[in-house]
Structure 1
Amino acid sequence: MVRKRSSSHLLFLPLPFTLLSLATVVILALLAIGCGEEGREGAPSESDPGALRDTSHDPSPDAASALPEETAAVLELETTYPEGFSFLNGVRERSDGSLLAADPLAQLLLRIDLNAATTDTLGRVGPGPQEYKQPDQVFPLPGDSSLLVDLGKAQLMVINPDGSFREGLSMMVPREGGFPEILHPRFVDAAGNLYHQASRARSGGPADSAAVTRFSRSSSTFDTVATIWLPENSQVRTQRFGFLPRMLEPRDDWAVGPDGRVAVIRAEDFSVEWTLAGGRKVLGPPHEFETWSVTREDKEAQMAEMRNSAISSVSMTSRSGGIQSLSMSRGIPNSGDGPGVDDFEWASTFPAFRNDRTLISPRGEAWVERWVPVGSDSRWEVFDDEGIWSGSVVLPPRHQILGFGRSRQGAEVAYLTWADEYDLKWLERYRIIR
């Protein structure tokens, strides 16, 4: 199988964790992402099936006919944008094939045409109605509108199809008891409902669980669509840095498809539990998986990812009760003042899968990214709408899937980034070959 690039490029995948604090309450979410170690015994190698490929020299256009039995798909390169980006947290595919994306490190909102290799900047940094302070991610809304998460203003701004902005809603949504809920969406369905993971205090359940909630923009109401398991004691108190998260602890992950179906990936047995739009649940069987020991090199690689994706933002919002402050940060400081490897408590082995990385494909499958040692190929396990494992997709270590879409001809596509030795992110589109 032909590789698109050699392994001479080093990838730093984004490894953020988000800290939200309102007054004296701190809401901590860890997006722990790592890479693998090349040549380690038992680690996946670049000869594994399902990797990225350049099929321009294949003798037959039917690339899927040669797929090994345990390969869910391969990805065929269609185009690469000719310039790198500081950081991309995701992409939003529009009906004309162009993309909207936020580069939070460069503080830019971008409209990208991969076919024409052009990029326009929408809006600018500032306090005005057509401005933003810290653009972080863009999601689709009905009618080819989009939703911009602006951490700097603590606002969810609506982007019109022509690229202009209109007023959205605050990320601080009033709840019972007078204390607001921090609405930081991870997914948006085709009806425009927002999905986010509520804090433990808001979930109302056991200390080792949290609710996945759906927020209706039309009625400004929340309802719970799933419950996920989290470690009960996920933080450790340190003398120098206060509370720090325990690193690489297993926990459930989740994702939502355009039709509102929710997939929960259970950490206990690596099974997939679907909750359909009407509330019916479909429970998939357990999935066997291999794990690897966490080495010092793995820890240092993860710390590097956290530093390379670090941002910090403080928002001030005027309410009837006075001024409220919302502070958000991702990653750790890039200076020598932040915590180091030895300041964290680490798991001895990798969990089965990464958190906050599961995606739903155009076919309605759950693509779940595995944890692997530094230097190893990235591996995604694909599960169908019954929770049955369909096979694996193996990617080089320096590549990350940002999202999915469809070409004008209706073919499934995936949007990926890879990072060079300067940690610039290069955006590419691939056709998914089954």
Structure 2
Amino acid sequence: MQWPAFKWSADDKYVARLNPGQSISVYELPRMNLLDKTSIKIDGVVDFDWAPASPKRDGVKEYEQLFCYWTPEIGSNPAKVGLMSIPQKRFVSDAKLHWQSDAAYICVKVDRHSKSKKSQATTLEIFRVKEKGVPVEVVDTIKDTVINFAWEPKGDRFAIISTTEPVGVTAVAPKTAVSFFCPEKAKKGQQVGNFKHLRTLDKKNSNAIYWSPRGRFVVIATIANTQSSDLDFFDLDFEGEKPESDKDLTANLQAMNTADHYGVTDVEWDPSGRFVASWASAWKHSMENGYHIYDFKGEALREEPLEKFKQFAWRPRPATLLTKEEQKLVRKNLREYSRVFEQEDADRGASADLAVVEARRRMLEEWHSWRESMEADVLEEREVLGLPKDPHAPLLEAYTKSLDTASDEDRVIEEIVEEVIEESEEVLA
């Protein structure tokens, strides 16, 4: 239990206590009534504190007291710092903390409400943890509400999903935009260049981001939506021609494929980054339960509908048995290994072709053998019936005799003779 158990607001009109991991209870003084007769539910809350003075925010005329709170990272949900107004119980601002997998960066996503409370803007502040003095870079101020953020594992690029529509439980999923950010090429004296906007894809229904554990490839998905169930596969290191506008950036974005899995509720990459599984869990709905498996390019490899299917899990990938020196040697000789593997693939293909040819030759020999046996049976039957061995022989013999007995009158002989009648010679002067 934390001490002090109760914390006072700046004007002593409220006192509050923490219910660790669950909620914050705010009481009105002097009667000690629980505000609105309910505690403020905040899952995972660890601590909170009142503002030390009564705030006077620009554009806010009503009375208020403010307190801030924070929650740690829970599962896939990032750590969060929030600011709440009392007695309205309104979230004034929200900051979520997103760590990069190698702890090279931490992004603080700050959501701020407008004066009218009808719109919300988001600011991304990135702390470069491994650089001297931990410099902070404000990447962009986004006028829309950012509903999802995800770093590239072992990389320095990230993707966000934003929307201009209200966020919450609605009959129709909001239209969203997917944006990609990456650093510029490092200049002299820089470890990593400044973060820049790469591309935005509008008019989507996407609400989830799934990076490959090896980086580079990402799936932008529409989860738990009965009207849309797209899985968009992207490559951020496309080896084709790079647009002129992206020449100074460390990414080349290319859409590879779009798959559709109706009712999809979950998506997960396998640990190697080569395959992606999506499934519709019976724990969330009962429509078309089952799973799909795709390769990293988005090509469907398997579709398995299963009644009451609930969960899918990849087998964990074991740690490598090679030392760092052996891994370096493998990378150094990767082209040589590739040639060997390509030759083995070619040999397998040739052996497969040879097997097909042999099978066809065997079938042809079997047919010839069958035909010879049939001809022998027919010949035997003709001998028993007293018929000639060759049924065509009498016909050929009769035809030949008819040609021999034909008279000379029936024949026309034509002879052409050339003869010189007169020959003369002239001399021209």
Q: Which has the higher helix share?
A: 2
Q: Where on the TM-score scale, by shorter chain, does this alignment land: which range?
A: 0.3 to 0.5
TM-score normalised over the length of structure 1: 0.32
The structure with higher relative contact order (CA 8 Å, sep 6+) is 1
Structure 2-normalised TM-score?
0.32
Computing the radius of gyration over CA atoms, which structure comes out larger, 1 or 2? 2
Higher strand share: 1
